[in-house]
Amino acid sequence: MPLVLDEALPLLPRLRRHARLLCGDHARADDLLQDTLERAARKGALFHAEAGPMRQDALRNWLLTLMHRLYLNQRRDAREALHDSLDEDDAPQPAIEEPQQRVALRLDLERALAALPAASREILLLVCVEELSYQDAARVLDVPVGTVMSRLSRARERLRLSMDGAAPGRPPLRVVK
Amino acid sequence: MTHDEIDIDDPTLHAYVDGQLPPERAAQVADWLLRHPRAAQQVLGWREQRDSLKALHRDWLDEPVPPSLTAALRPPAAKAPRWPRAWAAALLLAVGLGAGVAGGWGGHAWWTGKKEAAEMAAAAAASRAAGRDPSIPEYVRDAAIAHAVYQPEKRHPVEVGADQADHLIQWLSKRLGQPLYAPTLRDYGWKLVGGRLLPAGDDPSTGASPGASAGASARTSVGAALARAQFMYENEAGERFTLYVSTGASSPEAPVAFRLMQRVEGGQTTRSLFWIDGKLAYALSGNFDERRLRVLADLVHARIGMIARASSAPVAP
């Protein structure tokens, strides 16, 4: 059963929030969502799902997949030395705005989330906010389930540390596969 | 931990928090947590975190979606159909345009044998319809694309490295059905990085057409006609050029001549010099000026000729 584009309309507010939390910036988020929807409109023929209760979830996952792929491309474009790091967790962390005088800075959740490495933010949003299963999150991000698990575990710890006011530590040593 | 404990690892605890365990297993974990306050504390923290993330900006869900976003969902009926491999199409187009400005050295009469003039005219018309310069053989475009794709590659520039040069040349020669040579250019500051096997494009005018040089055809098999080789060289400064070799595009009476094709992409100009030598057609591509490229092409051509003569010379009595 092919995609009827109107089926995506009820999903837009959710996708828009997802994009905003992902980008941390409303204008960039709307650009990302727009690109995602344009791509969906072009590639609609590639979406296949049975009619039924699962169809809406499948459509959401498909749109999330398109969005996260575009988001990854943006990050790659922004980072010249793509070959230097295929492991997204090694990406340089965005600087946290830290007023020098306050040592124990307690970031509120939104800012803490925005300050996480992109890969950590992605996995927390997919699993905790969108409540995807680990398998679905793995498909959206195009990584193995094991990677979803390790990223999730790291992301939770990082978020906890930044919420506790401790500066997020150096990224853990990379596991050579 | 007591000896009768079931093993509950971290991933299981995460899955428990995220509601991804089957009910039986979840009950087991809940039971286990009762006896492990430290782990329970951690699980509680994760759960709080999850709940607060889930509640983050629920207010945004009630905002009206701007029409520009809903409009993005409309099918792009008015737009031209997209190529499935957009990047390849973009490259091909750029190649075609670039070829238009490239000066033809000595025209292309040498390329077009009179015998095949009619065939070539038909192919040329088709090429023109596709927005390409028919005087540029397809393999040169393929060479430029292969150069653009692999030249910037840091991790996997080649399939087989120069440390296995003998194997590389044997293998590619076998696949192309012709003896290939990757000349040594160390004295000019260029070292071989390695090479790779590439598939030919699917254009029928590639030169693997049955009309080309009947009898003396370079094709030894269908597979060989479809195989191409790319060798990559690099100098101390990290600059690279690639030598692309094709079979089938040749004809025995075609004289050796260098022709230039160039394309500009993102401010970077890739130039390809191409020529035919015996049964093989070559394209040397680099991001240098024409003069440097010409020097390299002369050098490569001369060295290949030397090696070829040396290896085909009859053994002295």
User: Mean pLDDT throughout B130-142?
Assistant: 73
pLDDT at B197: 93
User: Does residue A23 contact residue A74 with C-beta atoms inside 8 Å?
Assistant: no
- Selected residue of B9, B20, B48, B53 to mutate for chain A interface (largest A Cβ count, 10 A): B53
How do the domains of chain A map onto residue ranges? Answer: 1-78, 92-168
CB contact under 8 A, A38 and B76: yes
Q: Tell me, what's the pLDDT at B245?
A: 93
* Interval B283-313: pLDDT, tens: 999 988 888 888 888 888 888 877 777 776 5
What's the pLDDT score for residue A52? Answer: 79
d(CA B272, CA B184): 20
Considering only CB atoms, A5 lies closest to which of B52, B74, B82, namely B74
pLDDT bin (cut points 50, 70, 90) of residue B208 is very low
Give the bridge partners for B195, in sequence order: B160, B231
Rounded average pLDDT over B212-225? 48
Q: Which of A40, A83, A153 sits opposite B73 (nearest CB)?
A: A40
Q: Does domain B88-312 have CATH number 3.30.200.100?
A: yes
pLDDT higher than threshold 50 for residue B213:
no
Among chain A, residues having any CB pair with chain B shorter than 8 Å are 5-6, 8-9, 12-14, 16-17, 20-21, 30, 33-34, 37-38, 40-42, 44, 83-84, 109-110, 113, 124-125, 127-129, 131, 133-134, 149, 152-153, 156, 159-160, 163
Cα separation, B1 vs B100, whole angstroms? 77
Q: Which residues of B touch A (CB under 8 A)?
A: 10-11, 14-15, 18-20, 45-46, 49-50, 52-54, 56-57, 60-63, 65-66, 68-70, 72-76, 82, 153-155
3-state secondary structure chain B: CCCCCCCCCHHHHHHHHCCCCCHHHHHHHHHHHHCCHHHHHHHHHHHHHHHHHHCCCHHHHHCCCCHHHHHCCCCCCCCCCCCCCHHHHHHHHHHHHHHHHCCCCCCCCCCCCHHHHHHHHHHHHHHHHCCCCCCCCHHHHHHHHHHHHHCCCCCCCCCEEHHHHHHHHHHHHHHHCCCCCCCCEHHHCEEEEEEEEEECCCCHHHCCCCCCCCCCCCCCCHHHHHEEEEEEEEECCCCEEEEEEEECCCCCCCCCCCEEEEEEECCEEEEEEEEEECCEEEEEEECCCHHHHHHHHHHHHHHHHHHHHHHHCCCCC
Among the listed residues B52, B38, B317, the one whose alpha carbon sits nearest the alpha carbon of residue A113: B52
Core vs surface per residue A69-92: b (16+ CB within 10 A) or e = ebbbebeeeeeeeeeeeeebbebe
Does the domain spanning A92-168 belong to CATH 3.10.20.30? no
A20/B57 Cβ within 8 A: yes
Give pLDDT tens digits for B225-274.
788 999 999 998 888 999 999 986 544 444 456 778 877 766 678 888 88
Q: Do A20 and B60 touch (CB under 8 A)?
A: yes
Kindly tell me if the per-residue pLDDT of B10 is higher than 90. yes
Question: What CATH code is assigned to A1-78?
Answer: 1.10.1740.10
Contact (Cβ atoms closer than 8 angstroms) between residue A23 and residue A32: yes
Query: What pLDDT is recorded for position B144?
Result: 87
Angle between helices A26-43 and A12-23 (to 10 degrees): 130
Place of tokens 């800075």: A105
- State how beta strands B280-286 and B268-277 pair: antiparallel
Helix (H, G, I), strand (E, B) or coil at A156: helix
Cβ contacts of B12 on chain A, cutoff 8 Å: none
pLDDT of residue A126: 97
Per domain, the residue ranges of chain B are 10-54, 88-312
Residue of A nearest to B12 (CA): A149
Mean pLDDT of B145-150: 86
Among A57-61, A129-133, B114-118, B190-194, whose mean pLDDT is lowest? B114-118
CA distance B68 to chain A (A): 8
Topology agreement, domain A1-78 and domain A92-168: no
In angstroms, the CA B227 to CA B121 distance is: 26
Say if residue B103's pLDDT is above 50: no
Q: What is the mean pLDDT of residues B81-108?
A: 38
pLDDT, average across residues B150-157: 86
Q: Do B54 and A128 touch (CB under 8 A)?
A: yes
Q: Are B52 and A109 in contact (CB under 8 A)?
A: yes
pLDDT for B11 beyond 90:
yes
- pLDDT tier at B126, thresholds 50, 70, 90: low
pLDDT, residue A115, reads 87
Please list the ranges in chain A whose pLDDT falls under 50: 80-106, 166-177
ipTM: 0.78
**Residue B158: pLDDT band with limits 50, 70, 90:** very high
Task: Give tens-digit pLDDT for B59-69.
Answer: 899 888 888 88
Give the pLDDT confidence score for residue B96 in this predicted structure: 37
CB pairs under 8 A between A and B: 92
Which CA distances in Å does B96 have to A101, B145, B146, B218, B226? 61, 12, 15, 27, 22
Nearest CA-CA distance, residue B50 and chain A, Å: 5
- Does residue B282 surpass a pLDDT of 80? yes
Torsion angle in degrees (nearest 10) through CA of B282, B288, B292, B296: -30
User: CA-to-CA distance for A37 and B71, rounded, in angstroms?
Assistant: 9
